[in-house]
Every structure is written in C-alpha cells, then in structure tokens.
Amino acid sequence: MMRVIRNLIGVLLGMVTLCHAATDPECLKHLGGAFGDVECFNGLSIELKKENQVLVKEISASIPSGNKNRNLVKDYLRHQEKGRDFCELSRQSLTNWKREVKAKNPRYYDYDVAYYECLYLLVEQENRFLKNLSKNVDQR
C-alpha cells in the first residue's frame, strides 16, 4: 500500500510540474517551423512579461511618493505597450501589406513568426532595461 501511495504522489508531482512548465529558452536554438517558432517566441514573451511585472513593482516601490519619476516609469510602460502595435508591420510586410483574414482553425505561417518574434524582441529589450534600473536601485 505504501508503494502505491508513493507512486501516486510521484505521478501527481510530475503532473503539477508539467502544468507549470515554462518555455525553455533553448527553443531559440531550434527555430525553423512556423508553429514551433510562434510557440517559442510567445512562450518566452509571456515569461518575460511576468518577470517585467515583478521588476516594475520593485522599481515603483523604490520611487518616493510624489516623485516625478514614478510617472516617467508609467509613461515608459505605456509607450512600450503601444510599440507592440507596430509589430503588425512585421506580419503585414510578409503578406504584401494585406491583412490576413482570420480563419476558424488558425494555422501559423512565416508572417505570424515575424509578428511574435517582434513582440519577443520588444519584451526582451524592456526586460534588459528594467533589470538595469533595478540594478541601479540596488546600488544605493
């Protein structure tokens, strides 16, 4: 009976870790298929966005109330969010500047990869910037 319980616990722990598995950054070394590439860039972007939210909270908490830099951080984040809209140019440039019709059962194409790669690059740049700010704050 004890063996059954141990095996059951092992299976449950394995399932929990699979459900919360992050995208492996190694996927960037194995690009070459539209579906996998989109999944790689999108998964990594989601992970970086979560990390960026934590960094923003830490940075914002370090800025004294009433300090103009608190608004500057908010402005930076707002501009970063608006910049993501321009990633649509990456997609449409590969479709002769025509917007693709959404399908019921969507498939990923090279132009989708260009869009998600653009999003990833923007979030990655934001992450580097926020980490630098956080490092600066920690040096006080």
Q: Which two tokens stand for residue 72?
A: 């500057």
CA dist 10 and 4 (Å) reads: 10
pLDDT digits 0-9 by tens, 99-128: 777 777 778 888 899 999 999 999 999 999
pTM exceeds cut of 0.85: no
Kindly report the CATH number that applies to the domain delimited by 30-138: 1.20.1270
CA separation, residue 124 to residues 41, 45, 98, 110, 118 (Å) = 10, 7, 28, 21, 10
Spans of all domains in the chain: 30-138
pLDDT digits 0-9 by tens, 56-113: 999 999 999 999 999 999 999 999 999 999 999 999 999 989 877 777 777 888 889 9
